[in-house]
Structure 1
Amino acid sequence: MKWTSLLAIYILFWAFSVFLVLPWGVRTTHEAGGDFVAGQAESAPHEFRLGRLALRVTIVASVLFGLFVANYEFGWVTPQMLDLFNRDQVYNQM
């Protein structure tokens, strides 16, 4: 696989990992015992730490990407294994 393809796939893994990591360790202002700001939603996080979020996302994305590349190289799970409706047999009979 070309390095540009690998880079594009890693960026996709990173972007999707953001949504996996965002809820981890979030505490609302009420849970943290802080004071509410006028107009603040009750579910808003008390503190937003972009650096810590980026580090967590990078770690999760790297692990998932590593598993993806290992599966690509070693063929642990193939499309034929995921064919639940036996489409290959239907196409071969035609």
Structure 2
Amino acid sequence: MAYIISTWLAIYFVLWWVTLFVTLPFGVRSQHETGGASPGTDPGAPTISLMGRRLIWTTLLSAVVFGLGLAAYQAGYLSIERLSRLMGIPF
């Protein structure tokens, strides 16, 4: 039972990081776009990062995707045999 929980946590951890990198560019305004570039900084640097919101959205979105994946696994759609048959790899 402990290895199942640790496997689920590892999958969620990787999924959370992938989701974070997907959500990072949304809503970012650069210094060049806002017209408030500080001297000595890159014009493409963001003005306000709002990382707290991004972390909350990442956690919620990755929990939904993880829940859908877990439900698909429990229903038998994500078994090794089925996925290998879909990819044409003999199991």
Coarse TM-score class (shorter-chain normalised): 0.7 to 0.9
Matched residues in 2 for 1:26 and 1:87: separation? 42
Matched residues in 2 for 1:41 and 1:56: separation? 27
TM (norm. structure 1) is: 0.77
Does 1:70 pair with 2:74?
Answer: no
Structure 1 runs (4+) greater than 6 angstroms displaced: none
What number of residue pairs does the alignment pair up? 86
Q: RCO (CA 8 Å, sep 6+): is it higher in 1 or 2?
A: 1
CA RMSD across the alignment: 1.9
TM (norm. structure 2) is: 0.79
TM-aligned CA distance change 1:63 to 1:41, over 3 Å = same
The one of 29, 32, 36 equivalent to 2:31 is 29
Unaligned runs of 5+ in 2: none
Rg bigger for which structure?
1
Identity of counterpart residues, as a percentage? 34
